[in-house]
Amino acid sequence: MGKATGFMEFTRQKPKDRDPLARLSDWKEYSSPLSNKMLSQQGARCMDCATPFCHMGSEIQGMTTGCPIHNLIPEWNDLVYRERWKEALDRLLKTNNFPEFTGRVCPAPCEGSCTVAISDPAVTIKSIERSIIDKGFENGWITPRIPEKRTGKKIAIIGSGPAGLASADQLNQAGHNVTVYERSDRAGGLLIYGIPNMKLEKDIVVRRIQLLTKEGIDFVTNTEVGKDISTEELQNQFDAVILCTGAQKQRDLMLEGREAKGIHFAMDYLTTTTKSLLDSNFEDGQFIDTKGKDVIVIGGGDTGADCVATAIRQNCRSVVQFGKHPKLPTSRTSENMWPAYPNVFTLEYAYEEAEAKFGDDPREYSIQTKKIVVDEKGHVKELHTIQMKKTKDEDGKYYYKEILGSEKIWPSQLVFIAIGFEGTEQPLLTQFGVATTNQKINAVYGDYKTNIEGIFAAGDARRGQSLIVWAINEGREVAREVDCYLMGSSK
């Protein structure tokens, strides 16, 4: 490293977020980039560690540790310190097809396993990554890469999320003819509709789709395979098919009153909101409006947080987010040591905004919904809850026990269910004859072949709900396997 003592001389600095109250008046990204000088200093904090765990890309305690796409983080950190931005971009693009996405919405497991983080705040890897790719576009360094030769082989990719886009990019650069099918009206999958504008502005996604199109990839939108085009037709037209349909089957609540009006899946709420924003700036009214209503989000994860931020921008009267887990500690526990992902308390953008507007963090911990009460018109009226205590049994296993006397009634006119995804939707897989287990496609990691000749699977459809970096990892790897399948080997 060019500044071997940088981690001792400089403290961690994060990008300065826009004022929480001010940003509630729009749908633009909430964060701003660091200055070049500050980025150079942050790059200097990357120490000359013998084994950079930041790019190990594995799992510890069921959580991702390090970068699954094995970004060459120490190398481009050093280049940023030296202000050699073009070379830093070249290093970054060796492993990451879409740094403009990961630099904004990835939870940065690389930072959790940063060696500096053993005793000090981690290097701001995610911020540096975003700045590298943004400068690449700003300076015109990123231009269409047109393959010199075409192989004549045709590949269909179903789904245009990060796994589908990564596999399409790799296979197109290998010279194959790639067609990506997307049932929505815009390409991008959850990048376009599942992630709110405040975290990822959609012109960034559109810019990448346009670039991939110029490079030779065909995108067919508003087309559902198995309905608008048959699976047999697809198999006859293409030499290989990759299923990157994601894990879009949302997990439901089985509760008394679940059938009430005003109860929606979180992804339906986020999707309709973003679509209406993009289509008409909300003039069409084709979205779920929380204005003047008491909103409850059930589920303590990132999707639930996005619902909180969206509801606040729609001027809801109040918003509360229910989570089944206890409040996380402010620092690592003995059960969560480095380099495992740090399960510690953080104040994400949505909660900063809720505190700024309502004066309180909207999260309720260790809480379970027991019943949904419906009014005389069949609309949700209130939720009944009870507090839970996380307890360890004699075998050392944790379970949740109800705390008697902790019952509470919460008024609500809108409820969003954000408790995760069960797996991929099954009808298409049935038509292909693809085997599944627990609603995930049967395809071994590293091989990606299904039980049907010429059909492969990658991303959340294969592994279940996961991170964008795992989707890119699998998209890149399945592309290599398809290349080998078609050509006998791969470069």
pLDDT at 61: 87
Residue 395, pLDDT > 90, answer: no
pLDDT at 392: 83
Instruction: Kindly report, residue by residue over 152-180, the tens digit of the pLDDT.
Output: 999 999 999 999 999 999 999 999 999 99
Residue 436, pLDDT > 90, answer: yes
Q: In the chain, count of helices (H) and strands (E)?
A: 18, 20
The average confidence (pLDDT) of the chain is 95
pLDDT at 178: 98
Q: Which pLDDT band holds residue 345 (cuts at 50, 70, 90)?
A: very high
Which amino acid makes up residue 382? E
Residue 2, pLDDT > 90, answer: no
In the predicted model, what is the mean pLDDT of residues 197-215? 98
Both tokens of residue 156?
Answer: 């269909």
Residue 83, SS3 per DSSP: coil
Both tokens of residue 233?
Answer: 């037709």
Nearest to 78 by CA among 141, 2, 11, 148: 2
pLDDT at 466: 94
Q: What is the 8-class DSSP label of residue 328?
A: P
In the predicted model, what is the mean pLDDT of residues 50-76? 93
Residue 1, pLDDT > 80, answer: no
Instruction: Kindly report, residue by residue over 105-140, the tens digit of the pLDDT.
Output: 999 999 999 999 999 999 999 999 999 999 999 999
Judge residue 134's burial from the number of C-beta atoms within 10 Å of its C-beta, 0-12 exposed, 13-18 middle, 19 or more buried: middle
Q: Which pLDDT band holds residue 399 (cuts at 50, 70, 90)?
A: confident
Instruction: Kindly report, residue by residue over 232-283, the tens digit of the pLDDT.
Output: 999 999 999 999 999 989 999 999 999 999 999 999 999 999 999 999 999 9
pLDDT at 27: 97
pLDDT at 32: 87
In the predicted model, what is the mean pLDDT of residues 363-387? 96
Q: What is the DSSP string of 272-292?
A: HHHHHHHHHTTTT--S---TT
- Cα–Cα distance for residue pair 308/318, rounded to 1 Å: 10
Q: Domains (ranges, CATH) in the chain? A: 6-138 (1.10.1060.10), 154-249+422-487 (3.50.50.60), 252-419 (3.50.50.60)
Q: Is residue 295 within 8 Å of 414, Cβ to Cβ?
A: yes
pLDDT at 50: 85
Residue 10, pLDDT > 80, answer: yes
Report the run of H or E that residue 319 belongs to, with start and end.
strand 318-322
Q: What is the 8-class DSSP label of residue 431?
A: H
Judge residue 88's burial from the number of C-beta atoms within 10 Å of its C-beta, 0-12 exposed, 13-18 middle, 19 or more buried: buried
- Cα–Cα distance for residue pair 243/158, rounded to 1 Å: 5
Distances from the Cα of 256 to the Cαs of 113, 369, 379, 405, in angstroms? 43, 10, 13, 21
